[in-house]
Amino acid sequence: MAKVDVIGRVQELLAEFISGKDLEIYNVEYRKEGPEWKLRVYLDKPEDSETEFVNIEECEEVNRYLSDKLDEIELIDRKYTIEVSSPGMDRELIHDKDFQRFAGRVVEVRLYEPLNGQKNFEAVLLGRTEEDVIQLDVDGERMEIPHKKISKINLAVIF
């Protein structure tokens, strides 16, 4: 089965299973890494959740469900490994709502091409416009960078 079909079907199964639970799907990946195929499911808490982080028991419950369900319906016709986790403290911002939810937080930005001599820098996320421009505060200076020029943007982990 095609990767896109597997991802879409897994998202459908998960959406049905976690409906009514304090969880949401953050991302699903299905890819070959070396000789092995990996199905990775990232779970998140809704913005209005009382807790900020997904716990291990929630990951285990989803892993058991998904493992049993995928075996039952025989969706994937090759050997693969399932990994269920949260996106982590250094989560990549990939959804529109991520840019609203984490406005005001420090992010690590990686660009495809240097801007002012830098391809990697930290900034405070201000938001994202309807034109898909990421708004940042870099050392007190406001910057706007088209999202298509950003290779990756993650929450910074600050201790």
For 96, the token pair is 């529109």
- Look at residue 47 in the predicted model and tell me its pLDDT: 87
Structure confidence by residue, pLDDT tens digits, 10-28: 999 999 999 999 999 999 9
- Look at residue 110 in the predicted model and tell me its pLDDT: 97
SS3 per-residue string spanning 116-129: CCEEEEEEEEEEEC
CB-based contacts of 150, cutoff 8 Å, min separation 6: 109, 110, 111, 112, 134
- Look at residue 148 in the predicted model and tell me its pLDDT: 96
- Look at residue 159 in the predicted model and tell me its pLDDT: 79
pLDDT at 4 over 90: no
Structure confidence by residue, pLDDT tens digits, 46-79: 988 998 889 999 999 999 999 999 999 989 989 9
pLDDT at 104 over 80: yes
Q: Name the helix (H) or strand (E) containing 103.
A: none
pTM for the full predicted model: 0.82
Q: Name the helix (H) or strand (E) containing 60.
A: helix 56-73
